[in-house]
Amino acid sequence: MKLSEKQNLLHYLLHMADNGLILAQRLGEWCGHGPVLEQDIALTNIALDVLGQSRYFYQYAAEVDGNGKSEDDFAYFRDEREFKNFILLEQPNGDWAHTIMRQFYYDNFMQLVYSQLVSSSDAQVSAIASKAIKEVDYHLKFSSEWVIRMGDGTDESHKRIQEAASALWEYTGEMFIPADYELETLGICTNVANLKNEWLKRLNDVFNQATLQVPQTNWFQTGGKSGVHSEYLGILLTDLQYIQRTFPGCKW
């Protein structure tokens, strides 16, 4: 059944919000466990940034939905098949190299997305993007510098970041395959298929500096945008949603 304009916009807003929420949850797992204090705090700040972006999209989604839901309802009371985040973002943190490479793949993409969403025909989406782009510029600088530092560092750091690049590569293709609700809201959102060449160009520049090889696999995991996820999302949501599911409507 063809969705209405309102439903397509709602799905897109939830997709953007879910990305931020799930990544923030993963990055939050590093709090107190970073390799050094400075990086521990930096990653926690990035988690707060993407969570803030997520909240803006959830709040707007609640307004578009118009059924009395709040941002908490979307975050805590949907099951995994209702989430529309990239499969990449729900993957376990692994070691520092895996976390940094996941962040770099995503930051590189989102910097391009927000750069275009600033000109969105939807005033609220444009306003969110205008704030987020300043944060994502820093996120991309942070993650790309770490990729270069590890790739062009010791034999061990090079080995770990190359392994991370290869292990996570299969989850990157999904970013550039528009979901139906994205195709139906072009103008409000951007055509992500058009971002791949620039994403690859910037990735190649960083990888060259890092002396890394770009993985050559042409098969990619898909489904996250439409609610088909890996086994890790359900486990993540069990932690994320526990308090609200156990004590619905609880107030601090």
Domain range list for the chain? 5-246
- pLDDT one-digit tens code per residue, 55-106: 999 999 999 999 999 999 999 999 999 999 999 999 999 999 999 999 999 9
Residue 179 Cα distances to 12, 39, 232, 247, angstroms: 9, 35, 22, 35
Q: Which residues pair with 222 in a beta bridge?
A: none
- Is the pLDDT at 217 greater than 90? The verdict is no
- Is the pLDDT at 108 greater than 80? The verdict is yes
Cα 141 to the center of its chain, rounded Å: 16
d(CA 185, CA 12): 8
pTM of the model: 0.95
Q: What is the CATH number of domain 5-246?
A: 1.20.1260.10
Neighbour-count burial for 123-135, b at 16+ CB within 10 Å, e otherwise: ebbeebbeebbeb
- Termini Cα distance of the chain: 42
